[in-house]
Amino acid sequence: MSQITEIAPDVFKITTFISEENIQFNQFLVRDEEPLLYHTGMKGLFPTVKEAVGKLIDPTTIRWIGFSHFEADECGALREWQKIASDATAICSIVSKMVSVDDVVAERPARALEDGEVFVTGRFRFKFLQTPHVPHAWDAGHLFEENSGTLLCSDLFHQNGDVEAVTNSDIVSRFKEMLIEYQKGPFANYLPYTTKTEQILSRLADLKPKTIAPMHGSTYVGDGEYAIYDLAQAMKDVLAGSG
Ligand SMILES: [Fe+2]
Ligand SMILES: [Fe+2]
């Protein structure tokens, strides 16, 4: 049911398409001395994601479970993972740990990262950026893997449909289409556009990512700095002043 694609050496994308909602949910497994799973997906996805992870590593050896913000598709199955992987620890922002994760969903206390902190899993080095309300939620943050130049970008660059695993083509037009479509229904104002949005997106662009890995839709390989500025413009066009 889930598809596996290696988007960078030892960085795997696990994609599950939910046809009723016309949306893909992507998890990312980083195969390293201390394996990291980024986004657990909702509880209902746990069996298929576990099966996919099992094709890459022993799922009980997962050491870190990262996510951008507290939401079901980001960390809904955290407890399920922690029950089978005895050392699995959530890694998230200080706000996420203190405000939600430790109380609501974690089997054991999360490790909180400070803005700018570098977190090492072995060969891979992740820089953590605290990005409140980008893509959304007070506790939001982003992990950037410095060796491969991969930005794990959560709901930024969200594209609907059963799209290709990886692309070198523009994904911002699809992202903009999704925003326009969502503005017409119950998902309106999915992503806020605040006085801080542009500045936070500029910090992400300054990382000059080579690979952009969203939770929903295709991974983009190319000029990440340009793509993030393009995304910022799309957000401004659709969301600034709306609502
Ligand atoms: Fe989200
Ligand atoms: Fe999401």
At 191 the pLDDT is 97
Give the pair of three-digit tokens for residue 24.
């893909």
CB under 5 Å of ion ligand 2: residues: 73, 155, 215
Q: How confident is the model at residue 242 (pLDDT cuts 50, 70, 90)?
A: low
At 1 the pLDDT is 85
- Ligand closest to Cα of 192 equals 1
Give the pair of three-digit tokens for residue 228.
């993030």
At 243 the pLDDT is 55
Q: How do residues 63-98 score in pLDDT, each as one tens digit?
A: 999 999 999 999 999 999 999 999 999 999 999 999
∠ CA(16), CA(42), CA(13), 5° rounding? 35
What is the CA(140)–ligand 1 centre distance, in A?
9
Q: How do residues 212-241 score in pLDDT, each as one tens digit?
A: 999 999 999 999 999 999 999 999 999 997
At 241 the pLDDT is 75
Q: What is the mean pLDDT of the chain?
A: 97
What is the CA(216)–ligand 2 centre distance, in A?
7
Q: What is the mean predicted confidence (pLDDT) over 186-194?
A: 96
Question: How many angstroms separate the CA atoms of 143 and 10, rounded?
Answer: 16
HEC string of 149-196? Answer: CEEEEECCCCCCCCCCCEECCCCHHHHHHHHHHHHCCCCCCCCCCCCC
Q: How do residues 142-184 score in pLDDT, each as one tens digit?
A: 999 999 999 999 999 999 999 999 999 999 999 999 999 999 9
Q: What is the mean predicted confidence (pLDDT) over 111-129?
A: 98
∠ CA(83), CA(41), CA(114), 5° rounding? 80
